[in-house]
Structure 1
Amino acid sequence: MKNNAPGLKPLKRACLTLTAMASVLGMAACTSASPAPTSPSAPPSSPATPTAGNTTFTLGTAADPESLDPAMVSDTESYRVTQQMLQGLVGVDPLTSEPAPLLASSWEERDEGRAYAFELRDDVTFHDGEPFNAEAVCANFDRWYTTPRSARAASTALPFEDVFKAYSDEPEVSLYSSCQPLGQFDVLISLKSRMTGFIPALASPGFAMSSPKALTELAADELTGTREGTRISEYGRNPVGTGPFRFTSWEEDRVELSFFEEYWGERGEVRDVIFTTIAHPDARVRALTAGRIDGYDFVTVENAGEVARAGLQFLQRDPYSVLYLGMNQDFPGIDDIKFRQAVAYAVDKPELISGRFLEGTKPARLFIPEKLGISGETVEAYGHNLDRAKELLAESGYDGSELPFYYPLDISRPYLPAPEKTYAELSRQLTAAGLNLKPMPTQWNEGYVDAVMNEDARAFHLLGWSGTYQDPDNFVGAIFGSYSNELAFEDNQLFSKINRARTLPNGDERREAYADISSQVAARVPAVPLAFPISALAMAPRVVSYPVSPVMNEVFNRIDLADIQPDTTP
């Protein structure tokens, strides 16, 4: 299938200031403006270089990035920074979130979906001056495929494993086969079997292209350093890509980038970018109203009214993440299906959402967002039924033993804007059913994710998944596609169904396959889907437009600033 969609342009999108009441109750999504089309064969026209006004954009973030090497992480804050500097073959259409050309100007499906030929842009260089070409593409794919165990062990499943399932040391399992240059700017990527989600997956920040020279010189796969407990390579501190901004510095709670003057695409108005970590949402509001930052992410119900009263903009994303209550089946008693069903019946999802999540957040019946069109009609809903929960607990033999419940502190995520308040309500509901919970609050930046992935003495935990590309496998494949320490969940029949669904062409059969997978997940209850949360940003009045994206493909050369006056001198 040939793809020659238009190139990406800045997304002109801004929300009107809302009243305090409207901020919390009934906000309209700001995701409908149309970008102007451009030719896929040439970079968009560059406006005159801004000469007046403040060309620095400062964003307040909820947490530090774990690493600036996108191949080695899967967290939102890392991707937020890396996608300013590094780009993949495939981008994201700003209107639909469908795949769109980026470093590849077009692609063609071959061998019944088991290979794809890409035609690459011929006008791109990496920030270190190295050429972007077919050899560079294959160097990146080969690096991902051969990632050593020592590097993989430092994290949860990496982007390559989530999509291709295994590395070069398990070739019989991996879906990746090879990368072959067909010319200087043409490359063939071969797969072991058809992967319908392959092209959408390449739009994920985890598949961004790095300079092969920098990967070698900065020993990208040697995680010899640490940052806040996370092992990191020298390349993870100094990334080199092809994006509009290049790396400047990363010190403490601050990352600085500057515009890359040789960038092949849209210049935009922003010349310098600063990411500053402000963990508490109230502190982020104060920083914005005081003019210390230009915007911040993850507005909570509690501060949405303050945002509106201050005359600030409220920008809402369409929901594309899922919050869930995880259960560790290695913990005594949780391996009993009746126990897990009791937990599902004990949860009152509408009550949990009310007053704790932004308006528009919906209870989750399955783990796949509505945007992907998978029916939940056959999925067990487990409506709130306290009596049934108590009956099942008794039948499971639960004896009132203490159940450690992990939840994060001082963090806002797209799927969990206020974790402490969410835990408090869930604790109330589960305790009412007869569960004896032991709260285990853990700082996000002090190893929360590592704890819920590896800590044996853990019964429950709060976590979620934010989609980075449009395909159901991005959700059920990543969460339930294989055994994980997080849930200690083993279901080979389900794993087989997920593997098969990946190969089905888009259409009714594939949608029905994912609906069946969702039904089987619900029947086994390895985790309880809680909500599809709305996430939102707040912006200062000087931000005329910001490229809001459900998959958070928000690159800052597409920001318009009100106080920038272009130089119109002939």
Structure 2
Amino acid sequence: MLTASLAACAASERDSAAGGNDGTMVFGAAGAPALFDPFYASDGETFRVTRQMMEGLVGYKPGTAEVQPELATGWEQSEDGTTWTFQLREGVKFHDGTPFNAEAVCANFERWYNQTGAGQNSALSYYWIETFGGFADDDKPSLYESCEAPDPTTAVINLARPTSKFPDALGLDSFSMQSPTAMEKYQANNVRAQGSSFVYSEYAKKHPTGTGPFKFESYNEGNGTITLTRNENYWGEKAKLSRLIFKIIPDENVRKEELLAGSIDGYDFPNPADLQSLSDAGFNVQVRDPFNIMYLGITQKNNPALRDLKVRKALAYAVDRKNLVQANLPEGAEVATQFYPDTVDGYAKDVQKYSHNPEKAKQLLAEAGHSDLTLRFYWPTQVTRPYMPDPRGIFNAIAGDLRAVGITVEPVSKPWNGGYLDDVNNARADLFLLGWTGDYNSPDNFIGTFFGSTENQFYTAAAPWGEDLAKQLQAADREPDPAKREAMYAEINRKLMAQYLPAVPLSHSPPAIVTSKQVKGLQPSPLTAEEFASVSMSEE
């Protein structure tokens, strides 16, 4: 009954649309958001919703990963890269009618920096910790020092050191500007741990308040629908839709069936095997530019054999990445030669490459004394990722390549959020499949995230090169001169592939998004960060 009623509601509103500036779109979401306060989130399904309601100082140019003004109209950095002055857009109001200004900017930064208790947990403040480091009351260094509001349209952010992350990182959904008044009224910081999960505030569940083109109306957890309505007082061009509904449908096959039935108007990450049939049926299949990486992770902490560079290189030579891309990934996927795509600064064309060479792999294993190697190879179930649309097929292809060079593979499969990520992060897997979609266009967002700390599964005390690599990544991030910084990252990429090889880069994959032919104006994003304000529903 839910499907029929939603479809009827959507059809009714579309039928009454006038000039494409009204109507409802129903989008099939792959999962439920835990909350609607993006600062405490790190998952794409939460951000998919909050992105429609909230904006940052900067955003990303539609269809690209290029930074552009959003709530800030421009910015300047000091010569040493530690002081950033943002000129703010005038006349902007939050959804509760309170003004967006420099004091609101500083209130948001101070809120983030002054988190206490559960708010400092990396499961909640993931992007703050990854981007800025520590908090006001702990002993961990923080990139953030202070925020000043010399006048209503000028905000000054002071940093402890220069960083390659600025200003691009401020476009992350976690750093969206939210109403200080609403956050205080509904106790946004009132978050506490409860067992292995968290209890969130009234603000995070019912009253998220930004400046964006859509406003929060309701979340019906019973039928799994989130409803947003158009912000009639939006500072820019108003949304063409009067209502935007996200319907939570975890199963990709069910999302496809509901699209075919007309009860939803679109969904994300369709199975690559379905792209042609969906297109032939008249649906809009839009393939994003690849801005991601899938890699074969190698855990060195518990298996001495994997600490030998010859063994890691043997793994790289064993995998037939060209066949993997052609057989298991969508059209437009590319073999990866390093850990980020060629559109990111510091991409080095002259890195050491590993063509499929089983004999070379066998030779290296023999030289290392590990011709009889046995490895626990983990792969995830109950998930599809933009970079990994078919985990089982990808695992089978790579496992077959490894067995062909004499490696005994012990398969281990677990649900993505039901043990897989925990086991991978706690170094229980010898090999594993993982990847990343870039949050913004920066080398640090890729290789800094993977290898910038020695506190992860890639390193071991017996591999001191991990500390050297982490120091090189930190130095590159702190270099204020863009040309010097790019050269430093290029050299790091060369060393990653020739001297370190902590993992094997596999592919860059172009994830798709599919909508009905009634949906017009959707601009696909390489960041998988689509905004729906430009969408209209036709009467076709």
Distance between the aligned counterparts of 1:486 and 1:219, measured in 2? 37
How many angstroms does 1:197 deviate by? 3.1
1:390 is matched with 362
Is 1:430 aligned to residue 402 of structure 2? yes
How many residues are aligned here? 515
1:91–1:99 CA contact under 8 A, matched in 2: yes
- Report the equivalent of 2:11: none
> Partner of 1:113: helix, strand, or coil?
coil
Give the Cα–Cα distance (whole angstroms) in 1 for the partners of residues 75 and 358 of structure 2. Answer: 53
**CA displacement at 1:356 relative to structure 2:** 1.5
Residue in 1 that maps onto 2:316: 344
Contact 1:66 1:230 in 2 (8 A): no
Q: 1:155 to 1:328 in 2, by over 3 A?
A: farther
Q: Which residue of 2 aligns with 1:499?
A: 474
Counterpart for residue 267 of structure 1:
238
From 315, 319, 338, the counterpart of 1:366: 338
Instruction: Tell me the SS of whatever aligns to 1:493.
Output: helix
The residue that corresponds to 1:44 in the other structure is: none
**Residue identity in the other structure for 2:144:** Y
Are residue 130 (structure 1) and residue 98 (structure 2) matched?
Answer: yes
* Counterpart for residue 561 of structure 1: 537
Taking a change above 3 Å as real, the CA distance of residues 84 and 98 of structure 1, as seen in their structure-2 partners, is: same
Alignment of 1:87-236 (within 5 A): 87-94=55-62, 96-148=64-116, 150-153=118-121, 155=123, 158-169=126-137, 173-224=141-192, 230-234=197-201, 235-236=203-204
- SS of the residue corresponding to residue 310 of structure 2 reads helix
Q: Report the alpha carbon displacement of residue 323 of structure 1 after superposing the two structures with TM.
A: 0.8
Amino acid at match of 2:101: N
Q: Give the corresponding residue for 1:26.
A: none
What are the superposed Cα offsets for residues 521-566 of structure 1, whole Å, 9 maximum, x if unpaired? 22212111111111111110101220211123321111122139xx
Tell me which of 319, 329, 340 is aligned to 2:290: 319
Tell me the CA shift for residue 172 of structure 1.
Answer: 6.8
Q: Is the 8 A contact 1:336 1:396 kept in 2?
A: yes
In 2, Cα distance between equivalents of 1:387 and 1:488: 28
1:13 match: none
SS of the residue corresponding to residue 240 of structure 1 reads coil
Decide which of 185, 204, 209 is 1:240's aligned counterpart: 209
**Do 1:365 and 1:376's aligned partners in 2 also have CA atoms closer than 8 Å?**
no
Of Structure 1 and Structure 2, the greater helix share is in: 2
Whole-Å Cα distance in 1 between the matches of residues 356 and 135 of structure 2?
42
What TM-score, normalized by structure 2, do the two folds share?
0.87
Alignment pair present for 1:550 and 2:522: no
Aligned letter for 1:391?
Answer: Q
**Residue identity in the other structure for 1:516:** E
Q: Aligned pair in 2 of structure 1 residues 222, 379: CA closer, same or farther (>3 Å)? A: farther
In structure 1, C-alpha distance between the alignment counterparts of 2:529 and 2:330, rounded to whole Å: 21
Residues 5-24 of structure 1 aligned to structure 2 (within 5 Å): none
Q: Is the 8 A contact 2:346 2:488 kept in 1?
A: no
- Counterpart amino acid of residue 346 in structure 2: I
Find the aligned partners of 1:218 and 1:446 in 2 and give their Cα distance: 32
Cα deviation, residue 109, structure 1: 1.9
Tell whether the 8 Å contact from 2:341 to 2:347 is kept in structure 1 after alignment: no
Contact 2:20 2:536 in 1 (8 A): no
Output the CA distance in 2 between the equivalents of 1:361 and 1:326. 19
Deviates more, 1:394-403 or 1:361-370: 394-403
Residue 223 of structure 2 is aligned to residue 249 of structure 1: no
Q: Which runs of 5+ in 2 are unaligned?
A: 1-16
CA contact (8 A) 1:156 1:453 kept: no
Look up the match of 1:278: 249
Q: Which runs of 5+ in 1 are unaligned?
A: 1-48, 565-570
Where 2:474 maps in the other structure, the secondary structure is helix
Q: Give the letter aligned to residue 251 of structure 1.
A: E
Q: Output the amino acid matched with 1:122.
A: E
Q: For residue 54 of structure 1, report the CA deviation from its aligned partner.
A: 7.0
Alpha-carbon spacing, 1:73–1:427, altered in 2? closer, same or farther (3 Å):
farther
Distance 1:506 1:560 in 2: 43
